[in-house]
Amino acid sequence: MITYKLKPKNSAEVSIYLLDEDQTLKFQHENCTQVNEVISSKQFTGTLYDIFPIVNKGTLILLVGLGKREELTLTIVRIAAKKALESKYLKGKKDIALYPHSQKEECILAIIEGIKIGTYRWKKYLTESSANSIDAMSIQMITPQKKSFEIAEDICAGVNATRDLVNDNADFVTSTHFEKEIRAIAKGQKNISLEILNEKELNAKGLNLHLAVNQGSNKQPKLIIAKYTGNPKDKKLLAIVGKGITFDSGGLNLKPTSHIETMREDMAGAGAVLGVLKNLIKLKIKKNVVCVLGIAENAIGSGSYKPGDVIKSYSGKTVEICNTDAEGRLVLADAISYVIKNYKPEKLVDIATLTGACVVALGYDYTALISTSEQMAKDILSSADKTDDRAWRLPIYPELKSAIKSKIADIKNIGLPKGAAGTLTAAEFLRQFTGETLWAHLDIAGTSFVESSERMYFNYGATGSSVRLLTHFIQNYA
The one catalytic residue among 68, 205, 255, 386: 255
Query: Considering only residues 67, 328, 461, 464, which one is a binding residue for Zn ion as defined by CB under 5 A?
Result: 328
Q: Which is nearer to ligand BES, 353 or 437 (CB)?
A: 353
* Least distance (Å) between residue 430 CB and Zn ion: 13
Q: Does 350 bind ligand BES (CB under 6 A)?
A: no
The one catalytic residue among 329, 347, 431, 468: 329
Q: Does 266 bind Zn ion (CB under 5 A)?
A: yes
Compute the distance between CA of residue 1 and CA of residue 37 in angstroms, rounded to an integer.
33
396: amino acid identity, one letter = I
CA atoms within 13 A on the CB side of 11: 7
Q: Does 181 bind Zn ion (CB under 5 A)?
A: no
Q: What are the strands of the beta sheet with 347-352, ordered from one edge?
A: 192-197, 222-229, 288-298, 238-248, 347-352, 438-443, 367-371, 391-393
Q: Does 359 bind ligand BES (CB under 6 A)?
A: yes
Q: Does 294 bind ligand BES (CB under 6 A)?
A: no
Percent of the chain as helix, strand, coil, to the nearest 5: 40, 25, 40
| Nearest in space to 110 (alpha carbons), one of 66, 150, 151, 76 | 76
Compute the distance between CA of residue 241 and CA of residue 297 in angstroms, rounded to an integer.
17
Q: Does 21 bind ligand BES (CB under 6 A)?
A: no
Task: Return the C-alpha torsion angle 128, 155, 443, 296, nearest 10.
Answer: 70
Q: Does 320 bind ligand BES (CB under 6 A)?
A: no
Residue 384: Cβ within 10 Å count: 24
| Nearest in space to 174 (alpha carbons), one of 222, 136, 212, 208 | 222
* Least distance (Å) between residue 332 CB and Zn ion: 10
Binding region for Zn ion (CB under 5 A) out of 66-74, 240-248, 314-322, 440-448: 240-248
Q: Does 15 bind ligand BES (CB under 6 A)?
A: no
Q: Does 357 bind ligand BES (CB under 6 A)?
A: yes
Q: How many residues bind ligand BES (CB under 6 A)?
A: 16
Query: Considering only residues 20, 297, 325, 389, which one is a binding residue for Zn ion as defined by CB under 5 A?
Result: 325
Q: How many residues bind Zn ion (CB under 5 A)?
A: 6
Active site residue 219: no
292: left (phi over 0), alpha (psi -120 to 50) or beta: beta
Query: Strands 438-443 and 347-352, how do they pair?
Result: parallel
* Least distance (Å) between residue 265 CB and ligand BES: 6
80 interface partner picked from ligand BES, Zn ion, none, CB below 5 to 8 A per type = none
359 interface partner picked from Zn ion, ligand BES, none, CB below 5 to 8 A per type = ligand BES
Sign of the CA dihedral running 379, 381, 382, 383: positive
Binding region for Zn ion (CB under 5 A) out of 285-293, 328-336, 427-435, 441-449: 328-336
Give the interface with Zn ion as residue ranges (CB under 5 A): 245, 248, 266, 325, 327-328
Q: Which residues are annotated as catalytic?
A: 255, 329
